[in-house]
Amino acid sequence: MEILRTPDKCFENIKGYTFDPVYTNITAKDGTKIRVHHIDEGPRDGPLLLAMHGQPVWSYLYSKMIPILNESGIRVIAPDLVGYGKSDKPSQREDYSYQNQVDWMNEWMINNNLKNLTFFGQDWGGLIGLRMIADNPDRFNKVSIGNTGLPYSPNTSDDVIQQVNEFRQSKLKLTPMSMAKQIKQMDSGKTHPALKFMYWQKFCWDTKNLPVGLINSIMMEKSSKIGTSINYIMHVLGIPKISPYFSDLMRAYEAPFPNYTYKMGCRAMPSHVPIIPDISLEAQKKAREFFYEWDKPFLSIFAGNDPVTNAMEQDVLNMVPNAKSAPNIGGGHFFQWTKPKELSKVISDFIKEKI
């Protein structure tokens, strides 16, 4: 396995991210050493929150929440998944799989002897983190998730599976705008969600130099259509930083990737979301059965206005009969950034048993 490591200089002057790095070495199945980064902030004797990010972001997503949670007495550990942020980045598509991410993060957690944890995960942070909990239940006291779940689709029709597979292999060229138009319809109920999510999967894989900064800017900050168009044009030309609309947020999310070769994790992982039956089917079934018997506190915290995951909350509540549901707080898919105070309060109240 070939490993790429982002130079430290790429992370200089990232606005609002002044946390000291902590590194842990893990070992892949083929013996390759992989360095995983995390931040550890807050009172050493405070209750411990493990906060996990998804795709295509990194622990920077929690940078607004961490000071708020620390102020309330909570210690926060936020890792970067392998392939993201300051963690090492395997260079090949086949290096990435759902199971590999679970195995890598399990080893990272065990090597750091993390226990007595409250968990919060969003997007891939939830898909991976919930499997980690099922593998290591004694390390966790409480679980909270938002805009995520444990997708399980054993009964997907052959017609849908065929449409998804044919679409992925088609020569259709997608732009961020044409892809986003389809994704916004995921919770419409008019078509199977897989027939909309496949646009995100195809766009990510087919786009060699995925515009990570631009995608996250569109989802997390206000920008004009003109500004978005100019940013996209500059990205395609390979000169994104020249754009007058290139923001601090875009800079932060492009920082982990000195060039397109570092983006393989961002490109590959969407195709491993099990929206149709795949190699992860049995592992998902086992984890869902585990959570059906879960008897510790479990809180569902969804934005409520994220078309990608709106329909997943009811599935989570069905999967975990013991779960409570917090009121939807808005903020879209990445509500850690758009609703940091609101989300931090819900999590803090959950930890302190006010919910």
Catalytic: 135?
A: no
Give the CA diameter of the chain.
55
User: What is residue 157's DSSP assignment?
Assistant: -
Placement of tokens 């999310």 in the chain = 253
Catalytic: 37?
A: no
Burial of 337 (0-12, 13-18, 19+ CB in 10 A): buried
How does DSSP assign 274-331, residue by residue? -SS--TTHHHHHHHHHHHHT--S-EEE---S--TTTTTHHHHHHHH-TT-EEPPP---
Of 149, 129, 138, 122, the closest CA to residue 61 belongs to 122
What is the per-residue burial (b if ≥16 Cβ within 10 Å, else e) of 252-262? bbbbbbeeeeb
> Beta strand 22-27 with 33-41: parallel, antiparallel or unpaired?
antiparallel
Alpha helices in 55-192 (DSSP H): 65-71, 98-111, 124-135, 158-169, 176-183
CB atoms within 10 A of CB 236: 12
The sign of the CA dihedral 60, 65, 69, 74 is negative
Catalytic: 206?
A: no
Q: Which of these is catalytic: 80, 103, 123, 135?
A: 123
Q: Taking a C-beta distance cutoff of 8 angstroms, is the pair 341, 223 a contact?
A: no
Q: Taking a C-beta distance cutoff of 8 angstroms, is the pair 232, 211 a contact?
A: yes
Rounded Cα gap, residues 40 and 345, in angstroms: 19
Which residues are known to be catalytic? 123, 306, 333
